[in-house]
Chains A and B, each alone.
Chain A
Amino acid sequence: MGEYFRLAVDALRTNRLRSILTIAGIFVAVTTIIIILTCIESLNNYVETEFSEIGSSTIYINKFPWVITDNFFEYRNRPAIKLREYEALKEDNTYTRFVSPLAVYERQISYKNEVVDGVSIIGVNRHYAEIGGISADHGRWFTEHEVDSRRYVCVLGASVVEALFRNADPLGKRIKIDGFPYRVIGVLEKRGTSFGFDQDRQIIVPYTAMRNFAYSWRGIQVAMLPERPEDAEAMKEEARGILRTVRKVRPGDKDNFAINQQDMLLDFYKQATGGLYLVLLVIAGVSLVVGGIGIMNIMLVSVTERTKEIGIRKAVGATRKSILRQILSETLLISSIGGILGMIAGVLVGWLILNWAFSLSAQVTPSIVLVGYGFSALVGLVSGMYPAYRAANLHPIEALRYE
């Protein structure tokens, strides 16, 4: 084996420029593939992580489905989700662990002379902490009593604290939301950005303390967490039944509300991007094939040039197999060098693209590296096959006579 490797290195050295150009073909192809794979993998990973914050078994009841692929106007005339529907869902359920209304509005807030516009005010009940997986890491979350008695208390997101209080402790202070005073009882754990949105630019208040300004026609959402993850489907069916009853939807008619879940977003994402990714990979694949044709071309020339050498080797006892191995070692070496360099370049460039364009960290999984190397090795073998076969089948005498 070592002998064949040495021979291959020798052969590449003899025709330096030619070897470099052939290697470059594979290098470019593998670089492209690795960049594409790294970007796809990293984006997928990012999206999945972000979506997973929604909680995979949590369902959201909305007027509109999250993903609308057909006619939007069909959904427009639906009635908004109302508080009494939340109350109905809270009353007679068996599979549901927690239910919370979820009313989201953008409002102006202020503290003393500081005024901030466009802050998300989120009205929920006490259980939303568990449903949404959020908690106060300074101060506290509100109590059931505070919700029931419509206390004007609030839990602030980190960005809001920074905008209104700078470094001062906000606990116990009174801020104004839309002109109404609310007492700060807690600060939310920092969550950072998601898809470019600042998730800390929000204020959570008891939904009962929102009625003063939140009677808007837009209605609310309802968030529900099942008793156990495997109850999600049953909970969905139960909620559907309850809502249809409350809304007096006739049997056979379509639902006039939407039950949303995280996997819908993931499915949509995959559906929307899958085709594009496939196209990108096909393009990369084509460049790899072109690289392979380059190797084959060069090897055919090289085999012809070395006809006499092959004749000499055969005359002293080289079998067909050893000639095959010699030529294949050469193509494998070419494609491996191209493949390994391409992998390195691909990972680096992929990392730069992700960092600059998306501010994401690159995911370089072993499978990507294996796929990259595997493909280049495969191309090396396949493109070497025919030249190797031609070389191996040369007749010793005719090969020796070749000038």
Chain B
Amino acid sequence: MVITQTTNPSSFSIISTKKIIQMNEVWTSYDSKSYVLKGINLSIDKGTIYSIVGQSGSGKSTLLKLMNGLMTRSKGTIKIDYQTPNMNDKKFKSMMHKIGYIPQSLGLIKNISVLENTLIGALPRLGKIQSLFKMFPEKEIQEAKKILKLVGLLGKEKRKIYMLSGGEKRRVAIARALMQKPTILLADEIVSELDHVTAREIMNLIVDAQKRMNLTAIMVHHDMQLALEYSNRVAVIKAGEKILEIGVEGDKIVDFQTGDLTTQEIMEMYTGESKK
């Protein structure tokens, strides 16, 4: 695979914080016929919350999968903590231990319990024999219980996944990701189908973890309002292109960068999005 390094004069000002994720002119496709992402540039500061919004099918989930190596890029460069994502690379694999990923479909294992699903996050810390016989150290089990309490699943540890509500399942997926003791968290629409109260509860949980663990969270959202409320920066994707990036501080927009689209087009899209 040829990696083309385009020196694109980045619109970001260089500040002292570490850029934990950087993408430069990234293109990708599923079928090598048409591109799903087209020339994505982005740069995420360590310890911040970065949100991605956009219409269905615009390429949000694909963008997240590029960050943990589940997808490979066709063109461009991606650096996650200065490493190129590649699932077959030993060095990146140890990096993956620290990337929590909550897929849109959650990816829980239906037939096992809440506790066991959570403990999967600890697998990288387990030896061969221990993992073969499911011998999790007491310390890890206590840690898992602590996290389950944090996400509000105390007392439901022994339930099988199919006995949980949609919101509870989401909490299990969050717990599994937190169990990894992540430095990066990728969360794909984890609050989209929830009521406002529960959605905020879960978002507060993420913000809390981000502050406590100096986590970098990249979150896909459907709701622009929620994204603005809970992020440092919000990127808007349309048909595979990043058309807008907004910097937020409190309830003020401090930075507003547009891509190729005109302000008129963006405003149309923006109002369409916020009506949802």
- Report whether chain A binds chain B: no
- A interface residues, Cβ below 8 angstroms from B: none
- B interface residues, Cβ below 8 angstroms from A: none
